[in-house]
Amino acid sequence: MIGERGPLCQRNCLSRAGHSAQMQRPRSYARSSHKRREGGNVRKAAKGKACVTHWAATAVLAFGVTPAVAEEARGTVFRDDNGNGVRDSGEPGIAEVRVSNGRDVTLTDADGDYRIEVDDETIIFVTKPAGYMTPVNAEMLPRFHYIHQPAGSPKRMRYRGIDPTGPLPERIDFPLVTVDEPAVFDAILFADPQPQTEAELDYIRDDVIAELVGTDARFGMTMGDILFDDLAMFPRYNRLIARMGVPWYNVPGNHEMNLDADGDGDSLETFKRHFGPPYYSFEVGDAVFFVLDNIVYQGGGEVTADNLRGNGRYVAELSEDQLTWLGNELPHIPDDRLLFFAMHAPLEIAGTDAPGVTTSNRRALFEMLGEREHLYAVAGHTHTVEHRYFDADDGFAGPEPFHHHVLSTVSGSWWSGPFDEEGVPVSWQRDGTPNGYHILTVDGVDMSVRFKAAGKPADYQMRIMFDVAHHRNRDAAVRDTRAGELLDGRMTVEQAYGAEVYVNLFDGGPRSKVEFHVGGHGPIAMERVARLDPAITELHLRHADVIKSWVQPQPSTHLWVSRLPELGAGTHTLTVRAVDEFGRTHHAHRIMEITPDAP
């Protein structure tokens, strides 16, 4: 999340951590024992994150293993035919599974065995191959990693991190279960649920989760800012997300960090306790999904009246260890696979390249991707929606532009605004987009994403507004107008002559086309403009008392405008036709009443 004016968002916070495990696996995401300098601060190299699962611990005991004094982890990735998490007689190893320690990547041999180096803070993880699934815990969180952190997390931290794991086990085995994994599937994409209070967890539960119970999606992902700094909410949040009934992957954001950490090295201790490594990959069908951690915590905050806990700042960048891991991972993936990148901070957005907003070393990622064709990247963080297409001018050399999508957020404007009939804040984003989520559809190497406004029909994809009164969006004029007049198509002939039609196509972008028909005129092409959505401006003017202090309207990248054609008195139907970034067509209508006299 960005945009908050208070100290929490003026700072930049990095999340890195990983702590539980499953049948022990190669270390990943563990921050190396050596230190490195990033963002002007000395910090430990990024470590992997992992969560110890009951089946992993059980497996170690079942094998009767004794701790090994070693700097090399070893074990087997095996086919868990009975799903008990323990390698039983007759359960074969799985060859050519990628295992990592957060920097190195190795393949299991013909027997499913691997060896990989570790240090005193390492997360070992496997990349789930297509056609297999890792175990999940009671909260539907995938268990694909083992955290090796003998000393545990620093004791001084406000929120609980990793308990001491003790010496490296003799074996760290990873079970996989065979599944029927179709080439065509859906996934749920959340960004920034970000509950600040327990009541806001209620809103997530009732406004979003409830309508997704029983979903056919293969899995879900959250693009960071899972919480809003209060990490004690993780257990309840995870239990609620689990009610959707699908495996759920998580990306670290700037509000999952241990803000009392001295720097980036210990800033994700609580995150990794719950979720594991901060960056990793997994395969589904013909797609490879990469979870990236592009928030780097710098620590060093001072206690002030606006920063009572002395929280530090963060910058948006990909760590050296993470880029090394990615560089070692990509050569194992054929060029004809779809690569999907999930991160918190955008790679780039319109209007700013601030260090805590956009990813400073994105060109390093572009260079690694070379001339790959099937690419897509999503992010959250800004509480706005945007589509960007990277090409040679941006340092990307692929044959087609690299599509980057900044998603609508679950929390909208951080759960601000007047209450609806269900007792949930309206919470439109700063660009006028309703709060909600997205559904990813993958078909081989082809994919598309569709927006779903929380609590609204699936075909609610745009808002049509009429800008009639010259001073309509001024504070003084709000007193003399009623809420909803922007949507009212009743106006005089004279007003219609000077009126403009606005369409906010909630998930629109530079390739979208919007046009309308009215009164026998059309199609009339509309112009995409960077302006404030009139409806969000009015909402803020009318309800400033229930909107959080840092939330302000921002220009939309998906707003279209046009003058009306000359219309005579009468009743007319205005029909908008919009084609979105993926070629889907959407329609919406407004009834206009043009009167000869003042209404």
Taking residues 346-351, report their average pLDDT.
Answer: 95
Token digits of residue 177? 């279960």
pLDDT at res. 469: 76
Domain with CATH 2.60.40.10 in the chain: 462-595
Q: What is the pLDDT of residues 363-380, one digit of tens each?
A: 999 999 999 999 999 999
Per-residue pLDDT band at 307 (split at 50, 70, 90): confident
Q: Which of 390, 460, 431, 452 is nearest to 535 (CA)?
A: 431
pLDDT at residue 50 above 90?
no
Phi, psi at 425, each rounded to 5°: -60, 145
Q: What is the pLDDT of residues 75-86, one digit of tens each?
A: 999 999 999 999
First CA to last CA across the chain, in angstroms?
44
CATH code of the region 462-595: 2.60.40.10
Full-model pTM: 0.88
Q: What is the C-alpha separation between 215 and 387, in angstroms, rounded?
A: 26
Q: What is the pLDDT of residues 266-291, one digit of tens each?
A: 999 999 999 999 999 999 999 999 99
Q: What is the C-alpha separation between 518 and 566, in angstroms, rounded?
A: 10
pLDDT at residue 14 above 70?
no
List of residues 6+ apart from 206 with CB closer than 8 A: 422, 424
Q: What is the C-alpha separation between 35 and 44, in angstroms, rounded?
A: 4
Query: What is the DSSP secondary-structure string of 139-193?
Result: T--B--EEEE-TT-S-TT-SS--PPP--SPPS---EEEEE----SEEEEEEE---
Q: What is the C-alpha separation between 492 and 206, in angstroms, rounded?
A: 42
pLDDT at residue 61 above 60?
no
- C-alpha R_g of the chain: 25
Q: What is the C-alpha separation between 355 and 581, in angstroms, rounded?
A: 28
pLDDT at res. 47: 35
pLDDT at res. 474: 65
Pairing of strands 402-406, 386-390: antiparallel
Per-residue pLDDT band at 35 (split at 50, 70, 90): very low
